[in-house]
Amino acid sequence: MARFIIAIDQGTTGSTVLVLSERAEVIGRASREFPQHFPQPGLVEHDVEEIWASIESCLGSALKDAGVAAADCAAIGITNQRETTVLWERGSGRAIHHAIVWQDRRTAPRCAELEAAGHGPLFRERTGLVLDPYFSGTKVEWLLDNVEGARARAEAGELAFGTIDCFVANRLSGGELHITDVTNASRTLLYDIKAGRWDEGLCDLLRVPTSVLPEVRASSEVYGHTRGLSALPDGIPIAGIAGDQQAALFGQTCFADGDAKCTYGTGAFILMNTGDEARASDNGLLTTVAWRIGDRTTYALEGSAFVAGSAVQWLRDQLGIIKSAPEVEALASQVDSSEGVTFVPALTGLGAPHWDPDARGLICGLTRGSSAAHIARATLEGIAFQIADLGEAMAQDAGRPMGRLRVDGGASMNALLMQFQADLLNVAVDRPSCVETTAVGAAYLAGLAVGVFGDLEEIARVHDVERTFEPDMGEGARKQHLDRWREAVARTRSTGG
């Protein structure tokens, strides 16, 4: 019996494919970056053909790295950058416009208009989301209104909408599948997370015809099979789908109510499992679907920091003070503290709990003695400060302090950042041996669907912790740091726009 699993992790700046054994060991890996497109300030787009080329390239390379024949793979799992929006022709499979990326802010005026019209509470109640350009609904509305002929073609049934998981499943299946899973559907502003269906009233408000919407499926089931690919044979089950943050929650085996994780990627995202309850937030967090397996839906609270790893990329690409992202830790370690330098990385606005699309990044506290090392350290601290804000909001919503935090993503390998995070939150931070738990979660979901893994308990047994960071900061120092941060955030928001 085929026992290997392919996990496709389609991210914001690149695609990664892992090949995993039935023990969840990564035995093959390949990654490819693809270009980012910035037509104007605040606009972020992807060419989906460049995304697909990166995936195809990675599939062959990862299997070669693993020394595994594709025919010996039991299933494919997909995880993806969420909210990024694509409209394509059903007949040809070609996108009618670049994908609009989750970071894109072009629909901020439309969100403000809907909010001013009093629709915010309705969207919040049904979708668990706030009216923000982050989400897919206003992005697809923009495409329908701004690409010539798109609305008429959509209403005629010629176009299909999807988030990136939907697009990848369509390509893997040779154009057969037009499906998404419940986690990705829950990020569109169009899906009622309690009723478990597309909401016609919300679709009408955003003028999105239901004919373009994909079928919503569970996060772990066989949706279809590969067909017509150069890198894979026909017939491999496509069997697991989850948005990247939900996949990471699953990959961290956060299966119990109250379990929490934070993924440090382009952005940073903290999620807490809330079990069968779609718990509303009073503190600016989102209520979202964690996953659906069989007929059971699990929910989560989520906080999003839009800029995390991309702040380090900004140091590299725009400021030029490092040549590669991993260099930031060594540079930041040259000083014992940031010496009061504070960086609020609101480079694409502020997400939860502030939800201010007009906020702009700010570096303050500079003196003649400030150096590149102080700025590097302030950048890492800025990432951790954002998560501390989210952790505090989450504890208030949950009505109890956070227990432990499980971390993953590329920046979780940064020990300086992880220690500062543990200190700010005043909780232990657990890092697994494999920090690519987004892809691992997709593999778990796919393996569960085809019987490679028997149940959640079996999955939990193969998960391990490589290092725990224990808090080591006094309460007085913690308060000083947080006060400094909050003062900087206030300045950031007052200078927005």
Tell me: the pLDDT tens digits for 290-345?
A: 999 999 999 999 998 888 888 999 999 999 999 988 899 999 999 999 999 999 99
Task: Tell me the pLDDT band of 496, cut-offs 50, 70 and 90.
Answer: very low
For residues 373 and 454, give the distance between their C-alpha atoms in angstroms, rounded to a whole number.
Answer: 49
Residue type at position 296: R
For residues 296 and 301, give the distance between their C-alpha atoms in angstroms, rounded to a whole number.
Answer: 17
Higher pLDDT, 479 or 354: 479
- Residue range 469-496: average pLDDT? 86
The answer, yes or no, to whether residue 14 has pLDDT greater than 70, is: yes
- Check: CB of residue 298 under 8 Å from CB of residue 291: yes
The answer, yes or no, to whether residue 270 has pLDDT greater than 80, is: yes
Token representation of residue 272: 């807490």
For residues 456 and 441, give the distance between their C-alpha atoms in angstroms, rounded to a whole number.
Answer: 12
- Bridge partners of 100, per DSSP, are 45, 85
Lowest mean pLDDT among 74-83, 247-256, 394-403: 394-403
Nearest Cα residue to 222 out of 238, 242, 241:
238
Count of CB atoms situated within 10 Å of the CB of 228? 12
The answer, yes or no, to whether residue 35 has pLDDT greater than 80, is: yes
Strands 26-33 and 4-10: unpaired
Task: Tell me the pLDDT band of 497, cut-offs 50, 70 and 90.
Answer: very low
At the top level of CATH, which class does the domain 4-245 belong to?
A: alpha beta
**DSSP 8-state secondary structure symbol assigned to residue 356:** B
Strands 179-181 and 191-192: unpaired
Higher pLDDT, 357 or 395: 395
- First vs last C-alpha separation in the chain: 58
Q: What is the pLDDT of residue 302?
A: 92
- Residue range 251-275: average pLDDT? 90
Token representation of residue 41: 């300030």
Question: Could you tell me the pTM of the whole model?
Answer: 0.86
The answer, yes or no, to whether residue 2 has pLDDT greater than 70, is: no
What angle do the packed helices 108-116 and 120-127 form, to 10 degrees? 100
Q: Please report, rounded to a whole number, the percentage of residues in the chain having pLDDT higher than 90.
A: 72
The answer, yes or no, to whether residue 494 has pLDDT greater than 60, is: no
> Kindly report the CA angle at 405 between 331 and 82, in degrees rounded to 5?
85
Count of CB atoms situated within 10 Å of the CB of 229? 18
- Residue the block writes with tokens 């939800």: 355
- Residue range 54-78: average pLDDT? 92
Q: What is the pLDDT of residues 118-174, one digit of tens each?
A: 999 999 999 999 898 989 999 999 999 999 999 999 999 999 999 999 999 999 999
Task: Tell me the pLDDT band of 400, cut-offs 50, 70 and 90.
Answer: confident
Q: What is the pLDDT of residue 383?
A: 94
Instruction: For the chain, give every domain's residue range.
Output: 4-245
Higher pLDDT, 399 or 18: 18
Average pLDDT, rounded, for the chain: 92
The answer, yes or no, to whether residue 351 has pLDDT greater than 80, is: no
Q: What is the pLDDT of residue 23?
A: 82
The answer, yes or no, to whether residue 493 has pLDDT greater than 80, is: no
Token representation of residue 254: 């956060």
CA distances from 390 to 281, 384, 425 (A): 12, 10, 10
For residues 322 and 312, give the distance between their C-alpha atoms in angstroms, rounded to a whole number.
Answer: 9
**DSSP 8-state secondary structure symbol assigned to residue 284:** S
Token representation of residue 42: 């605040």
Q: What is the separation of C-alpha 401 from the centre of its chain, rounded to a whole number of angstroms?
A: 24
Task: Tell me the pLDDT band of 355, cut-offs 50, 70 and 90.
Answer: confident
Q: Is 16 left (phi over 0), alpha (psi -120 to 50) or beta?
A: beta
